[in-house]
Structure 1
């Protein structure tokens, strides 16, 4: 059975990756590839493993323009120095073109992905190439690479999963992440989390940031955490009201803890437990 990229070792790689690299090396006059070119090949293999099909032409939706990964040619993807563009589609949804642009910024490769005519959002992630390509001139191809599982996992989380979810959601199917869920269902799931985790989710991307600033959501969160304080909200926005009540609550908790700690110190310093049994009840 052929390996996946995340199963790679310094002895074995996916056969398709080795084949592309060997063919590309033969085609290069200098017989030497740049790190960015090698990294681009890794990205192409990752796309192929996850059900995406490459296209020969950047702008046509003609299914005849699909390109088999075995026929990849780096030169057709170069727009200008250090910049590559790939067009591809998700298998089974060939009417939606996805564009990936890879820019080399020193040792970092920045990947931007846009789903044409469907979503203005740009999915972006930067990779330190030398974390994965440790020796482009290694004696064997597998020894060129390191930590490809981390690359695969990061690429899936930042690019593959959100892109698939967006496309599936467009066609009415639940996707492979929170992004593919209906808004109301996602709110219900997030309401199971503590507010600190909800804030962290809002930091993950622009879409969640906008979504979790929804007044309706903060109203539900206020009702969940401070139902007895609803009458104090007044005319303020629910998120602002939540913040005010939350800070006051945390301060109250802090004071109680400090008082409890002080009383514990008193008990340790003066053994009042025999003379003042009420102290045991308080503590």
Structure 2
């Protein structure tokens, strides 16, 4: 219970915590930090993959070679020859199990694949129409994205949470506790419990 209280104290700020809670005037700090790492010549696909990195981080995943909880864009995240994005991921507290995000561009669409390196190397896939979520015609970071809740829920429900569940089940960490819930659910629970 004390963990929820301390979580709630850190949550009561005016900035949105989750990327999906960003508005036309305020963007989540994690999303802003990632967007500031993008090259000035970044394309709309780059912006969407950067958003996916933030959504992965919200669910406890990080880039394998990073040692911090900060979300960052690695130098070699996209092949110059093929335009394919390849990133190795690990789940916090399970960094010995690696997964791989492969994003293939196909016109305006991205084919998202997450491969788990557990059991029979399961693959979770979905196709995303980039321009439904990214506005390529603005330099204003707050106006860069559209339909954030939709892409957040779609990506997490179809790819991230099934992968996370597989990893936690293999490690026998899945159970009826707050520790097994994604951080965004813990934040929402904390907000509902301690409303003054």
TM-score between both structures, scaled by the size of structure 1:
0.53
For residues 251-262 of structure 1, what are the structure 2 equivalents within 5 Å?
none
Q: What is the DSSP-based 3-state SS (H/G/I as helix, E as strand, rest coil) of the residue aligned with 1:76?
A: coil
Q: CA RMSD in A?
A: 2.0
Question: Counterpart of 2:158?
Answer: 158
Aligned to 1:265: none
Matches of 2:31 and 2:109, distance apart in 1? 21
- Residue by residue over 1:199-250, the C-alpha shift from the partner in whole angstroms, topping out at 9 and shown as x without a partner, is xxxxxxxxxxxxxxxxxxxxxxxxxxxxxxxxxxxxxxxxxxxxxxxxxxxx
Check 1:71–1:112 CA distance in 2 against 1; reply closer, same or farther (3 A cut): closer
- Counterpart check, 1:17 vs 2:18: no
Identify which of 47, 50, 55 aligns with 2:59: 50
Larger fraction in helix: 1
Partner of residue 115, structure 1:
116
Give CA deviations for 1:88-135 in whole Å, capped at 9, x if unaligned.
Answer: 11111111001010001111111101111433221001111101002x
Distance 1:149 1:67 in 2: 26
CA contact (8 A) 1:54 1:69 kept: no
The answer to whether the Cα contact below 8 Å between 1:8 and 1:149 also exists between their aligned partners in 2 is no
Equivalent residue for 1:146? 146
Residue from 27, 35, 52 that aligns with 2:44 = 35
CA contact (8 A) 2:103 2:111 kept: yes
Cα distance in structure 2, aligned partners of 1:114 and 1:139: 33
- 2:127 aligned residue: 126
Q: Are 2:6 and 1:5 equivalent residues in the alignment?
A: no
In structure 1, how many angstroms separate the alpha carbons of the residues matched to 2:72 and 2:169?
Answer: 31
**Contact map agreement 2:64 2:95 (CA 8 A) in 1:** no
Gaps of 5+ in 1: 57-64, 177-283
Structure 2 alignment gaps of length 5 or more: 1-12, 177-196
- d(CA) in 1 for partners of 2:122, 2:90: 17
Give the match for residue 107 of structure 2. Answer: 106
| TM-score of the superposed pair, with normalisation by structure 2 | 0.75
Between the aligned partners of 1:172 and 1:71, the Cα distance in structure 2 is 29
> Are 1:10 and 1:146, in contact at CA under 8 Å, matched by a contact in 2?
no
Does the 8 Å CA contact 1:5/1:13 hold for their aligned counterparts? yes
SS of the residue 1:146 aligns to: coil
Q: Is 2:86 the partner of 1:85?
A: yes
Number of matched pairs? 161
Higher relative contact order, chain-length normalized (CA < 8 Å, sep 6+): 2
**Cα gap change, 1:67 to 1:137, in 2 (>3 Å):** farther
